[in-house]
A and B are shown apart, each in its own frame.
Chain A
Amino acid sequence: EDKVVQSPLSLVVHEGDTVTLNCSYEVTNFRSLLWYKQEKKAPTFLFMLTSSGIEKKSGRLSSILDKKELFSILNITATQTGDSAIYLCAASRDTGRRALTFGSGTRLQVQP
């Protein structure tokens, strides 16, 4: 059975801290790993990673994929209170089934 595991489940930091969120996966015919941010509404897309070792960056957020060790990390530097959210990772399959498997999420709280 396909599985995506995120850690930690919850994290509390202070503004300015750097955080690393982890996502490991066991997915048959893996295609890509996606990261989403969910505040008090629908998830919004952050990154999609398909190749190992290529870092994707967007401002203070960056992410990288390791297809050999089957994990991805999401880094957030100089955190701000607006970064408080649930961060979700999801794995997609490279088959006709195109389904996504999500992890349970990491709840990040950034305190002033």
Chain B
Amino acid sequence: EAQVTQNPRYLITVTGKKLTVTCSQNMNHEYMSWYRQDPGLGLRQIYYSMNVEVTDKGDVPEGYKVSRKEKRNFPLILESPSPNQTSLYFCASSFLPGTNYEQYFGPGTRLTVT
């Protein structure tokens, strides 16, 4: 089954404790992206990657890191989480834009930083 998976689905942590949210897709997509969703603000892009070893900042990259060492995986790293990073996070993937730019979203990770 074609899908994007994220782990963990729920996470409660404390300020400053490094964490990683994993994202994996099995559709051989070149493009992967991380978003956060906050009430009233919609989805905001954190980082994206157009292929292995190619990453770039989205609209809200501060406090986050990513890596793309393999095509299928795109982990999101919070080196020193803070309460303002409490949010719902989505990973998404697609083939590179052409005639079809449909993005497939993972199920989401709800992060709470206390």
Using a CB–CB cutoff of 8 Å, the interface residues on chain A facing chain B are 4, 6, 31-32, 34, 41-45, 48, 88, 90, 92, 97-105
Using a CB–CB cutoff of 8 Å, the interface residues on chain B facing chain A are 31, 33, 35, 40-45, 48, 50, 56, 58-59, 90, 96-97, 100-108
A88 to B50, CA, bound (A): 23
**CB <8 Å contact, B31 and A45:** no
A81 to B69, CA, bound (A): 44
**CB <8 Å contact, A98 and B106:** no
Can you give 20 contacting A-B residue pairs, CB < 8 Å? A31-B101, A42-B106, A42-B108, A43-B90, A44-B105, A45-B102, A48-B100, A88-B42, A88-B43, A90-B43, A98-B96, A99-B58, A99-B59, A100-B33, A100-B103, A101-B45, A102-B42, A102-B43, A102-B45, A104-B41
Of all chain A residues, the one with the shortest Cβ separation from B41 is A104
**CB <8 Å contact, B108 and A102:** no
If A99-B45, A102-B44 touch, does A42 touch B97 (CB 8 Å cutoff)?
A: no
Of all chain A residues, the one with the shortest Cβ separation from B91 is A42
A34 to B100, CA, bound (A): 11
Return chain A residues, CB-CB under 8 Å to B105.
42-44
**CB <8 Å contact, A41 and B42:** no
Return chain B residues, CB-CB under 8 Å to A88.
42-43
Return chain A residues, CB-CB under 8 Å to B96.
98
A4 to B44, CA, bound (A): 11
Return chain A residues, CB-CB under 8 Å to B101.
31-32, 34, 48, 92
A41 to B9, CA, bound (A): 11
